[in-house]
Structure 1
């Protein structure tokens, strides 16, 4: 089997993370970016290069996708590919599971078979929807484009014959010819911005990027994200295209309502959705100009993730939480009173808007292999914990759903294979999930508090979170299709990327985009299944070093960047170990931010 990244120059023991867009492989220069895929004749008569270019031809602006692909198809077979128009243009994004098989036929044509994994459907609006096609293999033919007296002229190149009746695009071409972007929508309660991943063709010129972002915002969020966010008012439309030059951008919208607060939120939404684009924005609503806004100043004045601190590392040692000390990193003190920092198995600590500490601990129960959830909130140090009324045979590391208002803290945890929400009094409430399997094994919450990642039935999912009243509803969930099988642990490594532990024939950790399309191996030499994984999600509010994740496998904890085993010497505030006594292993590492 050929896995993504197998030929990307990433050594088996690599630990690659890049803060920013494009993914580690692309940033390392392994996959050179280009605006347009190669033409039909660029590969001459080399089968492998021609097929690679054919499976890239659809990349670019949607209105010319069929034209680019049909240039590869023999004239007599062009009608086999039935065209769609406008917003119906969609590309089937595939991952090649094995090297293509080429069979030379007696008539000098070649039959090509490719084994694929269906990843999703790239729509004209830049979203990658779940896959629709179910094919695991495609077959088509190649013939020479020119014969002179029975002799093939290599300079004429090749043609595809008997093509699939679908636009195909490999994940490698997606990475190479598109820029993955993030736009933002306001949460349903309009308290925070929530990321939404899109893909913009590299061929789109810079002067049109503002227009593309506006079209995405007007078109609304990705389907799976809709339960957690609100789009622009109904029937919002662009009046002409956005124009700009010399650091000034003019946008004219036909948008209902004259709510100045809503208009101001739209400007903030635009400022963050335009990434790091500098300059000034003049927004007009039905030709009525709003005050000109400096985009950089707006981003600086309205934090994308307020109340987020620099990350501090902690771990569990001999049943208590301790700081982990690494050179060059800030380490804090445990925000728990000593009398409650006992019998700890794992923990999730968070910061509330009012700087209260939110503490959720998995602690040992009344007998061996029985556990309770212990929760407390208050000023540092937290001295009182409430305990769940029920004991469980297994409880995952608890996670808090971050909020930006004064509402009481709410979190999520998996206990005995079911997902629960919990409150500051350790009361646990089942969270319904409409999934094929009811056996949930892991949950992770994004920095925005409105998205989660789940592992259930051995499959990886993402879902939107709706914080309605005092409750929590999740879903519908979207399954991510990846090369990684049997996932065991997950956390958010960036706004639009997950860090996932699973298997690629052996235990491994991958970085996987929130839609499953882009994946990068982080570690492929683990040697043992990962049962605990935690990451600090790099973001635009805190410029912390990238690559911050920690995990535990076979009773041993590790950190990344640089990769090292977390030894007892890294654990602060512990008594010296007597000579001849083997020290305990630190376990269940986590971040406080």
Structure 2
């Protein structure tokens, strides 16, 4: 089956509006957007420079422009903000330039409060702290918990008497940048660092000001790579060795780029790794790339796109992902015209008492993990490995009240597969023998869901109703987790999560009512995908957008009813392969849908 065709048939978020589907008939159901496009090398148009102080016609517009003034080249950020501030108060914003620049990125939780007085206008901003944007394009965690800011506006009537201009008085002590301004004046860029075992490239999202001239953008990406991965990734990704230095800016002649580095201790293997890293980190470029070390040509990539095709980011195989569900305690394929006609890769004797499942590929092998119900009503994990099908399973000796959807780490050694699962509010790792070991996580509250990225070195978890990301690597017989990073979103009571693209997640939670959202990996992008109104999503599975599949796919379960993607339909008994849809003795619903890829 053609991957593009399947993407079109399954892409987007799932939704059903029919009676009895688990979502009340009288409840609003809304879908916004088609799902995320793959982000490698993404670029987009839009305004380059934020408006100046005098570009506003109303107080509301002035406040909006003030919250975008810092956007653009880092060296001028503080000066652009000062232009909005009354000269008597400009000293309240410290002088910083270059690498010292840090912009406080906030999400407005309500419209700015503007109270007009006889001599001054008072403005109150109710905000959610999102992060600190540095000169290196990294959005780091917030450095403050401030929930509001207050400042004044001093109106000045021009001599003509027809126009009013404003200055900020008593300003905030930090330069504020709204998430809208971040999305308007920056381009998200994905750069890549090698994993600790140098077997996988790990995505790292940065923000490039659209004001940066085109001929300098390659240099900025190279400087980011030299600076190393974002802090939260450092357990699963490594910086360039020997701290190289860029000699001058990268230069371009026609379709040939030249990068000149001071790189002590280089060798051919290291240069090839760097060449692949550059090819993917500059994924919007084609043509040639010459890498020089100390002005000496050391590596020429004749065609960047050919290098990317020859060394793909992810080993996903040539076929589209398969889709399955659980029906009457067994895993079944879903029977759709766009699906490959393939059997369940689990022996019939083991395919019983199933609550949920997680399958993955590792070369020619199938990794299978089943959550099954034991005779005592407790839930156990069964795991096994096989060639194209799994015949033999081992079951965990410990039973639990509740076991979540199991996931396999795609970064694991193919000979020693490793997975993660949540059991009774705690995170556990397991192997092909279903031997479970608790993995301590420094987050408040019980863990309720876990998801692993395509590269296998990043995790997302839901704990205590909050959303976290962290890096992961294998160390000996165990897993080492990086420090969890909390993503600050407007959703509350989160229940499920999965990766929706390289740098975004699909999460279920509440925003006045149950909803599905796409959340950026740093919490900036927050796009409503589905508002169901009554049914809480309890199970969520996605196939992430990636350079080989341009849009993400999602399936989910709410109120014991499963749904799949475009054209937003309920998964019914007739869609379950090897089941007689006319058998009146069968009345259950398909549940726990998931992908195999």
Q: Calculate the TM-score normalised by the size of structure 2.
A: 0.92
Mapped to 1, the partners of 2:286 and 2:226 lie a distance apart of 22
Q: Which runs of 5+ in 1 are unaligned?
A: 1-9
Q: Secondary structure at the match of 1:516?
A: coil
Q: Deviations over 1:444-497 (max 9, x none)?
A: 000001000011111110010011123112121111001111110000010000
Counterpart selection for 1:460 from 451, 454, 467:
467
Q: Which has the higher contact order (CA 8 A, sep 6+)?
A: 2
8 Å CA contact 1:374, 1:385 repeated in 2: yes
3-state SS of the aligned residue for 1:77?
Answer: helix
Asked whether the 8 Å contact 1:40–1:50 carries over to 2, the reply is yes
Residues 119-198 of structure 1 mapped to structure 2, 5 A cutoff: 119-146=130-157, 148=159, 153-154=162-163, 156-198=164-206
Task: Give, in whole Å, the separation in 1 of the partners of 2:40 and 2:533.
Answer: 25
Q: Are residues 576 and 139 of structure 1, via their aligned partners in 2, closer, same or farther at CA, if it must alter by over 3 Å? A: closer
2:8 matched to which residue of 1? none
1:184–1:195 CA contact under 8 A, matched in 2: yes
Between the two proteins, the alignment pairs up a number of residues equal to 568
Cα deviation for residue 329 of structure 1 reads 4.0
Relative distance call for 1:263 and 1:398 in structure 2 (3 A) is same
Residue 96 of structure 1 aligns with which residue?
Answer: 108
| 1:295 CA drift (Å) | 0.9
1:540-580 Cα distance to aligned partner (Å, 9 max, x none): 1x32x62410111111111222211111111111134434x
**Is the Cα–Cα contact under 8 Å of residues 185 and 193 in structure 1 kept in the other structure?**
yes
| Kept in 2: contact 1:15–1:523 (CA 8 A) | no
Contact in 1 for aligned 2:41/2:282 (Cα 8 Å): no
Following TM superposition, by how much is the alpha carbon of 1:342 offset from its aligned partner in structure 2, in angstroms? Answer: 1.0
Give the match for residue 568 of structure 2: 563
Q: How does 1:506-521 map to 2 (within 5 A)?
A: 506-521=513-528
- 1:307·1:404 contact (CA, 8 Å) conserved in 2? no
Q: Could you tell me whether the CA contact under 8 Å between 2:290 and 2:300 is conserved in 1?
A: yes
Select the residue among 439, 448, 459 that pairs with 1:441.
448
Q: Does 1:19 align with 2:37?
A: yes
1:421-570 equivalences in 2 (<5 Å): 421-437=429-445, 439-540=446-547, 542-543=548-549, 546-570=551-575
In the alignment, the residues of structure 2 paired with residue 73 and residue 15 of structure 1 have an alpha-carbon distance, to the nearest angstrom, of 38
Distance 1:239 1:312 in 2: 48
Change in CA separation of 1:82 and 1:11 when aligned onto 2, cut-off 3 Å: farther
| 2:99 equivalent among 87, 92, 103 | 87
Contact 1:492 1:498 in 2 (8 A): yes
1:69 maps to what in 2? 81
408-417 vs 524-533, which moves further? 524-533
Cα distance, 1:38 vs. partner?
1.1
Q: Given the alignment, which residue of 353, 358, 362 partners 1:352? A: 362
Counterpart of 1:4 in structure 2 is none
Does the residue aligned with 2:475 lie in a helix, a strand or coil? coil
Give the SS at the match of 1:229.
Answer: coil
Counterparts of 1:404 and 1:561, CA distance in 2: 33
CA contact (8 A) 1:402 1:449 kept: yes
Give RMSD over aligned pairs: 2.0
Q: Please give the alpha-carbon distance, in whole angstroms, between the structure 2 residues aligned to 1:206 and 1:570.
A: 50
CA contact (8 A) 2:496 2:540 kept: yes
**Cα shift at 1:159:** 1.5
Per the TM alignment, residue 11 of structure 1 is displaced from its structure 2 partner at its CA by 8.8
- Report whether the alignment pairs 1:412 with 2:417: no
Cα distance between partner residues in 2 of 1:216 and 1:180? 13
Secondary structure of 1:472's counterpart equals strand
Matched, 1:285 2:301: no
Question: How far apart are the structure 2 equivalents of 1:379 and 1:106?
Answer: 79
Query: Aligned partners of 2:502 and 2:515: how far apart in 1?
Result: 22
CA separation in 1, counterparts of 2:591 and 2:253? Answer: 55
Query: Is the partner of 2:416 in helix, strand or coil?
Result: coil
Q: TM-score, normalised by structure 1?
A: 0.92
User: Which stretch has the larger CA shift, 521-530 or 382-391?
Assistant: 521-530
Cα deviations across residues 326-362 of structure 1 (Å, max 9, x unaligned)? Answer: 3434453211111111111000000012x11100000
Contact 1:547/1:561 (CA < 8 Å) preserved in 2? no
Instruction: Show CA shifts across 1:402-440 (max 9, x none).
Output: 037533110000111111000000000111112233x11
Q: Residues 39 and 214 of structure 1: is their aligned pair in 2 closer, same or farther, counting only changes over 3 Å?
A: same
Q: Which deviates the most, 50-59 or 403-412?
A: 403-412
In 1, are the aligned partners of 2:280 and 2:308 still within 8 Å (CA)?
yes
Once the two structures are superposed, what CA deviation does each residue of 1:476-525 show, in whole Å capped at 9, x if it has no partner?
A: 11110011111100000100000000010110010011111111110012
Give the CA deviation at 1:23: 14
Q: Deviations over 1:75-108 (max 9, x none)?
A: 222222112122110110000001111111122x
Change in CA separation of 1:42 and 1:21 when aligned onto 2, cut-off 3 Å: farther
The residue that corresponds to 2:327 in the other structure is 317
Distance 1:139 1:153 in 2: 28
Instruction: Work out the CA distance in 1 between the residues paired with 2:261 and 2:367.
Output: 42
CA distance in 1, matches of 2:316, 2:479: 22
Alpha-carbon distance in structure 2 between the residues aligned to 1:258 and 1:133: 41
Residue in structure 2 matched with residue 333 of structure 1 by the alignment:
343
Q: Which residue of 1 aligns with 2:19?
A: none
- Does the 8 Å CA contact 2:535/2:559 hold for their aligned counterparts? yes
Please report how far the alpha carbon of residue 15 of structure 1 lies from its aligned counterpart in structure 2 after TM superposition: 5.1
- Equivalent residue for 1:263, pick from 271, 278, 287: 271
Range with bigger deviation, 293-302 or 417-426 = 293-302
